[in-house]
Amino acid sequence: MAECKVCYRHCKIDEGNYGFCGVRTCKDGVVVPENYGRLTAIALDPIEKKPLNRFYPGSKILSVGSYGCNLRCPFCQNSDISWSDEVAISKQESRYVLPEELSELAEELKPKGNIGVAFTYNEPLISYEYILDTAKLLKQKNLKVVMVSNGMADTSTVGELFQYVDAMNIDLKGFTDYYYQDLLKGNRQMVMDFIEEAVKHCYVELTTLIIPGENDSEEEISNLSKWISELDKDIPLHLSRFFPRFKMTDRDATSVDWIYHLKDVAEQNLKYVYTGNC
């Protein structure tokens, strides 16, 4: 048995078994990511799709994802590689790509506007070792390292990444403990601590998906944006519109008018607020 220290759960994993994320496993008494280098998705995306609106706008970035996640969002947009029964299929169909291969591919795509690699689609931090190994090679090639994450990781465990990552988009999914604990099976304070540390080291934008009846009150978005402003008023916040999907089909899509109203609320505290999916 070994203890994983990536997130707040500190899963104690028996030999050959897995932690909550379904990826970190115990091998010879040591916790390792089973999905190291196993990619389920790879695409050359506009940087704005991450979304990063103020980091090299107009550029493209090689975006890669694996499988597994340490949250259980019932509205997950990538459930087939995150936590549904389809993950087993994703494992089988994944392609093993060495850090050296990925960094070489990123360099080859420079003529097409590529500026680096974004680790995205599923939760990248559950395989932070792969990001770290690849990032070191990317920096040697003067390529950017981007991470799109839920931020639910212990900075004392994954902190070495900060010296190599150039930009992050981090989900701040809500601003109540109920929302994180009961709906997402996560820990809000760990995410806030991660964001607070990240902004000291790299460029950061944040994203909040607005779910009707869950995190869509004026008070919550006011409190959320105020907390961000206390870190830095210039941190961009993306307020994204929810659409019914996966296990959350019991409500309508978020009203476009309400998204724009919450944008006005957040702009009382922040300089840059963007709407998404509208």
Give me the long-range contacts of 86-90 (CB less than 8 A, separation at least 24): 87/22, 90/40
Give the confidence band of 79 by pLDDT, cuts at 50, 70, 90: confident
- Closest by CA to 117, choosing from 95, 142, 94, 93, is 142
Can you tell me the mean pLDDT for 100-109?
98
Which of these CATH numbers, 3.40.50.1980, 3.40.50.300, 3.20.20.70, 3.55.50.30, describes 2-276? 3.20.20.70
**Contact present, 122 and 40 (Cβ < 8 Å):** yes
- Give the model's confidence band at 221: pLDDT under 50 very low, under 70 low, under 90 confident, else very high: very high
The pLDDT tens digits of the residues spanning 148-199 come to 999 999 999 999 999 999 999 999 999 999 999 999 999 999 999 999 999 9
User: pTM for the full model?
Assistant: 0.96
- Domains of the chain by residue range: 2-276
Q: How would you classify residue 213: left for phi > 0, otherwise alpha for psi between -120 and 50, otherwise beta?
A: left
What's the DSSP call for residue 164?
T
In percent, the amount of the chain with pLDDT more than 70 equals 98
pLDDT at site 171 = 98
Q: Is the pLDDT of residue 85 over 80?
A: no
